[in-house]
Amino acid sequence: MYMILVGGGNVGAQLAKRLIAREHEVLLMEKDSRQAQRLASMLGENSIYVGDGCEIQTQRDAGFGRADVVVAVTGEDEDNLVVCQMAKTVWNVNRVLARVNDPSHEALFQSIGVNQTISATGIIYSLLDQQISSDDLIPVGALQRGSIEVVEAVLSNRSPVIGLAVRDLKLPPQTNIVWLIRDDQGHIVDGTTALQEGDTLVAVVPQVHAGALREILHPEF
């Protein structure tokens, strides 16, 4: 697959490195020539294009016309928007992805036909929000742009679930306790697992139900 990435900052560089390692044909576009030189020494001359990915002539030279995927990862939403819009409307690129810095811009990106938007601010915010609203549920990962979370919870002696089997918990929808750490040992959890004080649970929970999960494990006293 031919993938074009626009924007050679940290995100673009790391992404390019991983995609090249997976043996995709990758071209990373960067308009600052000194930054492009640094990237070339890291990723190889052939993977770097020095030029403004927002310009049609540059896009033609870079081969937007035969790209399977275009990813816009500059630090500016307006630049990412124009790259994506050109990729879709001028070059008919099949899959177009954008990094969106201001989460309130995501709807605009989706309405112009961008296939996927990724908002780091939005993901970090929702994790942070989770952290602030609860000391008991610790976010360890996010899936589906933050709408599904992987969380960790340590059961204190006040938790009402101690002594109960997992299948007897009234867990929120689409929520699963998948793993448990007890005495520094990891255990796979099934319905019969009985919970003990000090257990660290790892659960997958839709973000909207995280509060309900917290209520079950650690209701406010």
Partner 1 sequence: MNILIFGCGRTGAALALGLSTDHQVTIIEQNPEALRRLGQRHKCKVVIGSGLDEDILVRAGIKEADVFIAVTRGDNTNLMAAQIAQLSYGVKRICVRVADPYRADAYRNLGFFCITPSLILAGMMTDWIDEKPYQTADAYNVIKNEVQI
Residues that bind partner 1 (CB under 8 A): 54-57, 76-79, 81-82, 85-86, 89-90, 102, 104-105, 107-108, 111-112
Which amino acid appears at position 43 of this protein? L
Q: Nearer Cβ to partner 1, position 89 or 131?
A: 89
Q: Nearer Cβ to partner 1, position 45 or 61?
A: 61
CB of 56 to partner 1, least distance (A): 4
Q: Nearer Cβ to partner 1, position 54 or 70?
A: 54
CB of 130 to partner 1, least distance (A): 25
> Burial, 181: exposed, middle or buried (Cβ in 10 Å; 0-12, 13-18, 19+)?
middle
Q: Nearer Cβ to partner 1, position 89 or 133?
A: 89
CB of 53 to partner 1, least distance (A): 11
Which amino acid appears at position 169 of this protein? L
Q: Nearer Cβ to partner 1, position 96 or 161?
A: 96
* φ and ψ of 103, to 5 deg: -55, -25
Query: Is residue 40 helix, strand or coil?
Result: helix
Most distant CA pair in the chain, distance? 67
Question: What interhelical angle do 33-43 and 10-21 show, nearest 10?
Answer: 30
CB of 126 to partner 1, least distance (A): 20
CB of 152 to partner 1, least distance (A): 35
DSSP string, 70-102: EEE--S-HHHHHHHHHHHHHTT--SEEEEE-SS
Query: Which residue is associated with the tokens 């997976």?
Result: 22
